[in-house]
Structure 1
Amino acid sequence: MSGAVIIGAGPGIGRSVALRFAREGLPVALVARTNAVVRDIAESVGSLGVPVVPLTADSTDETALRASLDAAADRLGPPDVVVYNAAIIQADSPGELSVRAHLNAWAVNVVGALTAAAHVMPAMARHGSGTFIVTGGMPEPKRQYVSLSLGKAGVRTLVALLDQQYGPSGVHVATVTVAGPVAPGTDFDPDDIAEHYWRLHLQPRSLREREIVHTGRATDGAPVTDGRASAVIASLFSSWQAAFNDHRAGDLSSLFTDDALFQGRNPQLVAGTAQIRRYYENVPEGTTAKVEVLEGKLLSENIVTGFADVTCTAPTGETTPLRISVTAEQIGGTWLIRQYHAAAPVAQPLRGR
Structure 2
Amino acid sequence: MFMSGVVIIGAGPGIGLSVARRFAREGWSVAVVARSEVKLTAVAESLAGVPVFARAADSTDETALRSALDAVSERIGVPDVVVYNAAVIRADLPGELSVAGHQDAWAVNVVGAITAAAHVAPAMARRGSGSFIITGGMPEPKPAYVSLSLGKAGVRALVGLLDEQYGPAGVHVATVTVDGPVAPGTAFDPDDIAEHYWRLHTQPRHRWEREVVHSTHGRARAAEEAGADSIVADLVGAWQTAFDDRRWSDIVSLFAEDAVFQGLTPSLLVGPAEISAYYHAVPNGFRATAKVLHATALGDGIVAGFADATFTTPTSEPRPIRLSIIAQRIADRWLIRQYHAAALS
TM over 0.5: yes
Query: Relative to structure 1, is the Cα distance of residues 156 and 237 closer, same or farther in structure 2, using a 3 angstrom cutoff?
Result: farther
Residues 42-101 of structure 1: CA deviation (Å, up to 9, x unaligned) = 1222x2x43210110110000000011011111111100000000000000000011110
Query: Relative to structure 1, is the Cα distance of residues 147 and 129 closer, same or farther in structure 2, using a 3 angstrom cutoff?
Result: same
Distance 2:336 2:89 in 1: 37
CA contact (8 A) 2:292 2:306 kept: no
Q: Kindly report which structure 2 residues correspond to 1:288-327, keeping only aligned pairs within 5 A, or say none.
A: 300-301=330-331
- Do residues 22 (structure 1) and 24 (structure 2) align? yes
Query: Relative to structure 1, is the Cα distance of residues 261 and 191 closer, same or farther in structure 2, using a 3 angstrom cutoff?
Result: closer
Q: Kindly report which structure 2 residues correspond to 1:266-345, keeping only aligned pairs within 5 A, or say none.
A: 273=306, 300-301=330-331, 329-331=334-336
Letter of the aligned partner of 1:145 in structure 2?
Y
Name the structure 2 match of 1:88.
88
Q: Kindly report which structure 2 residues correspond to 1:140-289, keeping only aligned pairs within 5 A, or say none.
A: 140-217=140-217, 227=219, 229-236=220-227, 239=230, 251-253=291-293, 256=295, 273=306
CA contact (8 A) 1:207 1:251 kept: no
Residues 280-300 of structure 1: CA deviation (Å, up to 9, x unaligned) = xxxxxxxxxxxxxxxxxx963
Query: Relative to structure 1, is the Cα distance of residues 133 and 82 closer, same or farther in structure 2, using a 3 angstrom cutoff?
Result: same
Query: Relative to structure 1, is the Cα distance of residues 272 and 37 closer, same or farther in structure 2, using a 3 angstrom cutoff?
Result: closer
Runs of 5+ consecutive residues of structure 2 not aligned to the other structure: 235-289, 309-327, 340-345
Name the structure 1 match of 2:107.
107
CA contact (8 A) 2:228 2:297 kept: no
Query: Relative to structure 1, is the Cα distance of residues 108 and 272 closer, same or farther in structure 2, using a 3 angstrom cutoff?
Result: closer
Q: 1:165 Cα deviation (Å)?
A: 0.1
Query: Relative to structure 1, is the Cα distance of residues 196 and 272 closer, same or farther in structure 2, using a 3 angstrom cutoff?
Result: closer
CA contact (8 A) 1:26 1:50 kept: no
Query: Relative to structure 1, is the Cα distance of residues 302 and 29 closer, same or farther in structure 2, using a 3 angstrom cutoff?
Result: closer
Letter of the aligned partner of 1:138 in structure 2?
M
Query: Relative to structure 1, is the Cα distance of residues 235 and 44 closer, same or farther in structure 2, using a 3 angstrom cutoff?
Result: farther
Query: Relative to structure 1, is the Cα distance of residues 214 and 261 closer, same or farther in structure 2, using a 3 angstrom cutoff?
Result: closer
SS of equivalent residue, structure 1 residue 58: coil
Name the structure 2 match of 1:60.
60
CA contact (8 A) 1:139 1:179 kept: yes
Name the structure 2 match of 1:12.
14
Name the structure 2 match of 1:125.
125
Distance 2:131 2:93 in 1: 35
Distance 1:80 1:237 in 2: 27
SS of equivalent residue, structure 1 residue 175: strand
Q: 1:301 Cα deviation (Å)?
A: 3.0
Q: 1:216 Cα deviation (Å)?
A: 2.5
Distance 1:302 1:188 in 2: 14
CA contact (8 A) 1:28 1:53 kept: yes
Residues 21-60 of structure 1: CA deviation (Å, up to 9, x unaligned) = 1111101000011111101101222x2x432101101100
Distance 1:58 1:190 in 2: 23
CA contact (8 A) 1:156 1:175 kept: yes
Q: 1:234 Cα deviation (Å)?
A: 2.2
Q: 1:231 Cα deviation (Å)?
A: 2.3
CA contact (8 A) 1:208 1:239 kept: no
Letter of the aligned partner of 2:132 in structure 1?
F
Distance 2:305 2:58 in 1: 51
Distance 2:227 2:124 in 1: 26
Q: Kindly report which structure 2 residues correspond to 1:28-39, keeping only aligned pairs within 5 A, or say none.
A: 28-39=30-41
Query: Relative to structure 1, is the Cα distance of residues 274 and 139 closer, same or farther in structure 2, using a 3 angstrom cutoff?
Result: closer
Letter of the aligned partner of 2:306 in structure 1?
T
Letter of the aligned partner of 1:27 in structure 2?
S
Q: 1:10 Cα deviation (Å)?
A: 1.0
SS of equivalent residue, structure 2 residue 161: helix
Letter of the aligned partner of 1:200 in structure 2?
L
CA contact (8 A) 1:302 1:330 kept: no
SS of equivalent residue, structure 2 residue 124: helix
SS of equivalent residue, structure 1 residue 273: strand
Equivalent pairs counted in the alignment come to 257
CA contact (8 A) 1:177 1:212 kept: yes
Letter of the aligned partner of 2:167 in structure 1?
G
SS of equivalent residue, structure 1 residue 153: helix
Letter of the aligned partner of 1:203 in structure 2?
Q
Root mean square deviation of aligned Cα? 2.7
CA contact (8 A) 2:92 2:146 kept: yes
Distance 1:238 1:16 in 2: 26
Identity %: 65
Name the structure 2 match of 1:44.
46
